[in-house]
Amino acid sequence: MADQITNYQCPNCSGPLRFAGDSGQLQCDSCGTSFEVPVVEQLYADKEQTAAVAGAEPQWDTNMAGSVWSDEETAHLRAYSCPSCGADLIFDDTTVATSCPYCDNPTVVPAQVTGSLRPDYVIPFRLDKNAAINALKNYYKGKKFLPSTFAAGNHIEEIKGVYVPFWFFSGTSFGNIQFTAKRVHTVTTSRETIITTQYYNIYRNGNMYIDKLPVDGSQKMPDNHMESIEPYDYSELREFSMAYLPGFMADKYDVDANSATPRAHERMKGSIEAALRNTVNGYTGVNLVASTVTHGNVVVKYALLPVYMLSTYWNNQNFLFAMNGQTGKLTGDLPIDKGRFWGYFFSIAASIMAILSAIYFLVGG
């Protein structure tokens, strides 16, 4: 039977650790840091336990996301494809498509409702179109560098309500995190000031259950737009029904659940890192230096979330605005009137130069 050999690596620099008999500690010859044996043993034990738990269960179970549309439902569904940006939109047979909400192209081409899963959940629109129009108008206010022609010709009344596809990831994240930190002590006497800085390696491990982490299922919708208008109030989450579609569009996902897992991993990883970071108190200059995060028992569901959208093509650029159709939180890109910007900049600069000249004259006099 072969012997199992364990080579410990330094948590600081990943260099090899050796046991120093004189100190009774594990010593890193690369960075000079010493560690108590139980600390390193516990660190590796936690890593092995995390790997074992993660390997025992499927990490990403995407088989439970969505279901099949019934014949009765598809009989009242219409699908349209935008020839400009490729967006596939689904809505009921009472809603009229006038233009694409992503690129503002006025042409939509009828298509069949195929290759799309039926959502598991939906959060209905709480706000109406007038609320979205007023929110966008207020968003323009106070933007001194916004071109007046943009605001005047932005067709705010064409804002559209769209159900955007999301994948909900629910599961347990396991984290082993290493931080470095310091404490600074200052002692002042009548003769001198003594500053003592102590440096620490801090280790945290733990797990947390993350419920319904949303990941955007549309390539056309920028992730930063969608994450900027979070969070949604899940208390209004409903089982999907066709009754919520009339008057609104629903974007057909073009990022499937498996393709969305890298983004889900990053968001879940960030959540547990932040939670463990919050347990490191009483230090200054805390930095994350190493992180091992795995996930277990992750189940994925398919949901539609309400978003009001306005796409405006102005000065050879496309500007997309998005507003949470439940809470009213809004985000969007705005153009800058360079003439106004530089005029404002030079007027401020001229004022500063005039003040400095006056001060120089008075001091010199």
Q: What is the pLDDT of residues 325-335, one digit of tens each?
A: 999 998 876 65
Checking if the pLDDT of 360 tops 60, the result is: no
| Structure confidence at residue 4 (pLDDT) | 35
Checking if the pLDDT of 49 tops 50, the result is: yes
| Contact yes or no for 290/178 (Cβ under 8 A) | yes
More confident call, 43 vs 163 = 163
Question: Considering the chain, what is the average pLDDT of its residues?
Answer: 76
| Contact yes or no for 117/148 (Cβ under 8 A) | no
Checking if the pLDDT of 343 tops 50, the result is: no
**CA–CA dist 109, 82 (Å, integer):** 6
Q: Outline where the chain has alpha helix (H).
A: 37-56, 71-74, 129-140, 148-152, 223-228, 261-277, 338-364
Q: What is the pLDDT of residues 173-189, one digit of tens each?
A: 999 999 988 888 888 88
Checking if the pLDDT of 44 tops 70, the result is: no
Q: What is the pLDDT of residues 129-162, one digit of tens each?
A: 888 888 877 877 766 655 565 555 456 667 888 8
Query: DSSP of 29-71, one letter per residue?
Result: TTT--EE-HHHHHHHHHHHHHHHHHHHHS-SEE-TTS-BPPPH
| Structure confidence at residue 98 (pLDDT) | 57
- State the pLDDT confidence band at 33, using cuts at 50, 70 and 90: confident
| Structure confidence at residue 56 (pLDDT) | 47
Checking if the pLDDT of 237 tops 90, the result is: yes
Closest C-alpha among 205, 185, 203, 204 to residue 195: 185
**CA–CA dist 255, 263 (Å, integer):** 11
Q: Which amino acid is at 277?
A: R
Q: What is the pLDDT of residues 212-228, one digit of tens each?
A: 999 998 887 777 788 88
Strand partners, 302: 167
**3-state SS assignment for residue 359:** helix
Burial of 276 (0-12, 13-18, 19+ CB in 10 A): buried
Q: What is the pLDDT of residues 56-65, one digit of tens each?
A: 444 677 777 7
* % of the chain at pLDDT higher than 90: 21
- State the pLDDT confidence band at 107, using cuts at 50, 70 and 90: low
* % of the chain at pLDDT higher than 70: 67
- State the pLDDT confidence band at 91, using cuts at 50, 70 and 90: low
Sign for the pseudo-dihedral over CA of 53, 54, 56, 59: positive
Q: Which amino acid is at 167?
A: W
| Structure confidence at residue 5 (pLDDT) | 36
Domain segments of the chain: what residues?
61-171+206-267+298-334, 335-365
| Structure confidence at residue 238 (pLDDT) | 93
More confident call, 243 vs 286 = 286
**3-state SS assignment for residue 145:** coil
Region 34-48: mean pLDDT is 68
Q: Kindly report the pTM of this predicted structure.
A: 0.67
| Structure confidence at residue 273 (pLDDT) | 93
Q: What is the pLDDT of residues 186-211, one digit of tens each?
A: 888 888 888 888 888 899 999 999 99
- State the pLDDT confidence band at 244, using cuts at 50, 70 and 90: confident
More confident call, 78 vs 359 = 78
Closest C-alpha among 226, 229, 211 to residue 298: 211
| Structure confidence at residue 12 (pLDDT) | 65
Q: What is the pLDDT of residues 255-304, one digit of tens each?
A: 889 999 999 999 999 999 999 999 999 888 888 988 999 998 899 999 99
**CA–CA dist 257, 260 (Å, integer):** 5
Phi, psi of 263 (to 5 degrees): -70, -40
